[in-house]
Every structure is written in structure tokens, then in C-alpha cells.
Structure 1
Amino acid sequence: MTDAGHTGGQRAATGQFAGRRIVVTGGSRGLGEHIVRLLLSEGARVATCARKPEPLEALRSSLDVPTALFTRTLDVSAPELLERFVEEAASALGGLDGVVACAGGARGRGITEATAEDWAATWELNVGHVVRLIAVATPHLRAAGGGSIVVVASVSGWKPGPQAQYGSAKAAQIHMVSSLARELATDGIRVNAVSPGSMLIPGKRWDRMRREDPSAFDRFRTEFPGRELVRPEEVADAIAFLLSDQSRAVTGINLPVDKGQNAPTPEGY
């Protein structure tokens, strides 16, 4: 694990999250990067982690925002490393007011090909990571008088498609949110999920399809009533809403941000 505690720009923090201290897992690329940049631009102090140091360093070096960024390089599914990161982040930021569980992914193929290790790895990355993140962050949120937790789930959590290990893990996340929202409500802690649809992220699956197989991409676009895939900025906006005081009466929900998407993959369901 490599360590990097970083301070951002020199101006006083302003914006709707000024003074807020927020942990975001998986914040160096894609949706996670958009979340981190948005929160920083609105005055938050942010701690984030990723598996490789280079994207974190690239993110840090590109920032021109009036706040602090704290980073660690780690695998969120590795025992104890995630817990240590959260404790160090809370210490560096002076506490925690919000948490975003964004890290996720899948291993393996179909049911006859995926191994028990594929299933275990997919569940640990999605479900285990979220459980441990919330467990270690909760005392810090309690100490701050409450806070907001947002879990990045997926439309695959209730619109079935391949592969089952990923969809079932995302379904577990959604159920977990509804349960923990009740458990933590007396502490003033809100827990919600956001379920993105298929996002058009540069260099990722759908962007590659768009460039390499335009006809297949056009067919996939028909799964969206407006014929447009979701942009990560749109999902980040929804997450920021659930972290903000504007959603203070909202807890235990799963908010789809999918532009009305039908099947979650070109293979249908």
C-alpha cells in the first residue's frame, strides 16, 4: 500500500459541501472520479482510494480546487486495508460526514464457466466491501451527529442479465441499504442507493462498442427510450443530491439513474 496525504488549492472552501468530509471508494477513474471532482468543486474535503497509484496521482495533479484530497492505494476487498484507510481518512479530515461506496465490479462468465472463486470475489468486491466500509465509518458519522451514506448499485440489481454473480451482488446491496437505513436512522445516518444505467465512459465497454461496432451500439441504444446512454456526470449529480441537506428526509431508497433503460446489457433479459 502506498500513502499520500494531499492538500488542494489555497482559496477558502465554498459551495454546498463546504466543510464536509467525505470518503469515496474507487475514486480515481470513471464514475468515482466524477464524484470526487464534483464534491471537491463544491467545497468538500475528500478521501479516496484506488488499486493503482498512477490514476490517483494523475487526479491529484490535475486538481485546482479549494479543499483537501487524501488518497490511499489499496484493494478494497483486501482484509483490513479498507478499514485502515477509513480510519486514516477520518483522522486526516478531522472526522466524516459522508460516505460513497463506489468501488465495484465482477469476475467470471456464465454459470457453467464461473468458478466459486469468481462468485466469492464478485461478492466481496461489491457486498463485503460495502459492509466493511459502512461498519468502520458509522462510529465517525455518529460522532459528527449523523451523515449520509450512498451505495452505488446498478440497474442490474433488479433488471436481470448476465452475469448472475454481478446482478445478485447488486441486488444484495439494494436490500442492504433498505435494512441499514432503518438500523442507523436513530443515529441520524441516512443510507441510500443509486443505481446507474449503462454509462458512456471514455475507454470503457460502451464507448469501445460505439467506436468499434457502431451498428451494435445503435441496437443497444434502443434499450433507452431517449436513445442516449447515461453520462457519469448525471449519476454524480444524483449522488451529490443524496449526500446533501436537500435530501435530508430521504433514506432507504434505491434511486435509478438509467434514463428509463430496459435491458441492462445488449444480451437482453
Structure 2
Amino acid sequence: MDLKLKGLRAIVTGGTKGIGRAIAQTLIDEGAQLAFCARNASEVAAVAAEFSSTGATVLGCAVDVGDEAALAAFVAQASTAMGGIDIVVANVSALAVGNDEAGWKSGFDVDMMGTVRLVNAAMPSLEKSQHASIITISSVSAREIDFAAGPYGAFKAAVIHYTQGLAFHLAGKKIRANTVSPGNTYFAGGIWDQIEQGNPALFKEALALNPTGRMASPQEVANAVVFLASPAASFITGTNLLVDGALTRGVQL
């Protein structure tokens, strides 16, 4: 299937590792222009060089999405460099599972407001696009009470509500908004790799919950994200797509 992404202009936050990197790479592979950010400047530079080596048009910036001014400056720079923005992927999470005030604050600043501010900053460009698409990354923890109950699950649920509200209110402007909710996703250096090393009992328990007997790969999640972001999904808006290998058991009506 031709996703019709060639030449479209995309922003991805958290683009150097895991799901975010797989999304960024897949967008490039499909012919999109890319601007991405992450907090670590050296990692951003290395990934940008790798992406650019294929001939792709890539802008990488070191940005903390919890910093409103820095995030807005990145979006403005990306829009100028690419001549506009068609696709926004809000991927960054603070991964705050602790139930202390610091966890709640970081979850709000990064997961919630990082998403809202990204969309707000990109909106003037999206309103000019013929293929405007917003994708937010939530989690199965937004649907079910699990070990990540607390700030992580609460703000991931709020992100879904926020995105579906965007879909309704922006439909008349031909701007689509969808959420992808991954299940447990394993990659080297990621949270489940760390849990496997540091808390093997929890890892074994989590693995046993999935009837497929495994966790997702970042690429499997990225495939869903890039499809929803693309013009091939032109009549899909306001949905929350689970990519979880039947991990969740609630019926989504």
C-alpha cells in the first residue's frame, strides 16, 4: 500500500530511542521529511547523522518537551526548515510511576502538557496543511489498572481524552487526531529491558499476561503510528488504536 507520505513534513518528539526512533525511521523510509527532538544532544546528533546519511531531509534538536519555550522554538524551527508541518507525533513520556508529588508533576509537565504544547505550537502550520494529522502516544495503562497506576496511567488516559476532543473540534478544519496505545514494548536499553535485569519476577509476570507470549517491538508500534498518520488513513480520526497483542481484556465499544 502506498501511504502517500512522500514529501510530507513530520515532527516526532523523543525520536532517538525505542518507539520514537522506529516511528522516525519509518517516516523517513516512506519518503517524509523529518524533524525530531530528544533531551540528549549527543544522541540527537548521532541519530540525525545516521538518518541524514540515507539522503533524507532531517532536522534533529536537543529539546526537553517539559520546557514550553524550548518546545515552541523547536516547532518554529522545524516549520521553517521544512516549509510547514503536516504530521505531529507526540511520543515523549516521563514514565512517572511513583505516586509522589514529583512523579505527578513530571507526568503532567511531560506527558500531558508536552503533548498539548506541541499541538498548540504546530497548529498554525497544521491549519495550512492538506494532510494534517496529529498522533499521540498513550498506553494500555490508560485502559487498565496495572503496576503503572498513578501519574503514568492517569495522564496517558487524559491524553486519549484530549486527542479525541481534538478530533471532534478540528474535523471541520480537516485536521485528524488519533492515539496509539502500545502494550509492553521491548527494546535494548528500554524500560522492559531494565525491568528484566533489575526485577526479573515482575518481567516474568508481565510477559505471562500476554497471550502471544511476547512483547511488542518498536517497529510493530511504529507501523501502526505511521499508517494512522498517513493520508492512507484519511477517514480515521478520533480513534485509540491498541497495539498490544491482545494484552488488554476490556471490550472497546
Indicate whether 1:21 and 2:6 are aligned: no
- Tell me the secondary structure at the aligned position of residue 143 of structure 1: coil
TM-score where L is the length of structure 2: 0.91
Indicate whether 1:159 and 2:144 are aligned: yes
Alignment of 1:195-206 (within 5 A): 195-206=181-192
Residue identity opposite 2:135 in structure 1: V
State the shift of 1:58 in Å.
Answer: 1.6
Question: Do the aligned residues in 1 keep the contact of 2:207 with 2:214 (CA within 8 Å)?
Answer: yes
The aligned residue for residue 35 of structure 1 is: 23
State the shift of 1:108 in Å.
Answer: 5.7
Question: Do the aligned residues in 1 keep the contact of 2:22 with 2:219 (CA within 8 Å)?
Answer: yes
Question: 1:60-103: per-residue Cα shift (whole Å, max 9, x none)?
Answer: 22233232111111111112111111111000000111110011
Alignment of 1:59-78 (within 5 A): 59-63=47-51, 64-78=53-67
State the shift of 1:15 in Å.
Answer: 7.6
Q: Distance in 2 between matches of 1:59 and 1:74?
A: 14
Which of 1 and 2 has greater Rg? 1
The aligned residue for residue 245 of structure 2 is: 259
The aligned residue for residue 228 of structure 2 is: 242
Question: Do the aligned residues in 2 keep the contact of 1:28 with 1:59 (CA within 8 Å)?
Answer: yes
Alignment of 1:50-129 (within 5 A): 50-63=38-51, 64-107=53-96, 109-110=98-99, 114-115=100-101, 117-129=102-114
The aligned residue for residue 46 of structure 1 is: 34
Q: Distance in 1 between matches of 2:200 and 2:157?
A: 31
State the shift of 1:142 in Å.
Answer: 1.1
Question: 1:7-42: per-residue Cα shift (whole Å, max 9, x none)?
Answer: xxxxxxx98421110011111111111111111111
5+ residue gaps in structure 2? none
Question: 1:85-144: per-residue Cα shift (whole Å, max 9, x none)?
Answer: 11110000001111100111233623xxx02x3312211101101111111111101112
Q: Where do 4+ consecutive residues of structure 1 move more than 3 Å? A: 208-219
Question: Do the aligned residues in 2 keep the contact of 1:197 with 1:256 (CA within 8 Å)?
Answer: yes
Question: 1:43-68: per-residue Cα shift (whole Å, max 9, x none)?
Answer: 11100111111111121222332321
TM-score where L is the length of structure 1: 0.86
- Tell me the secondary structure at the aligned position of residue 192 of structure 2: helix
The aligned residue for residue 150 of structure 1 is: 135
Q: Which moved more, 1:136-145 or 1:81-90?
A: 136-145
Indicate whether 1:130 and 2:119 are aligned: no
The aligned residue for residue 3 of structure 1 is: none
5+ residue gaps in structure 1? 1-13, 264-269
- Tell me the secondary structure at the aligned position of residue 171 of structure 1: helix
Among candidates 207, 223, 230, match of residue 221 of structure 1: 207
Question: Do the aligned residues in 2 keep the contact of 1:146 with 1:189 (CA within 8 Å)?
Answer: yes
Residue identity opposite 2:114 in structure 1: H
Question: Do the aligned residues in 2 keep the contact of 1:15 with 1:43 (CA within 8 Å)?
Answer: no
Among candidates 138, 142, 160, match of residue 174 of structure 1: 160
How many aligned residue pairs are there? 246
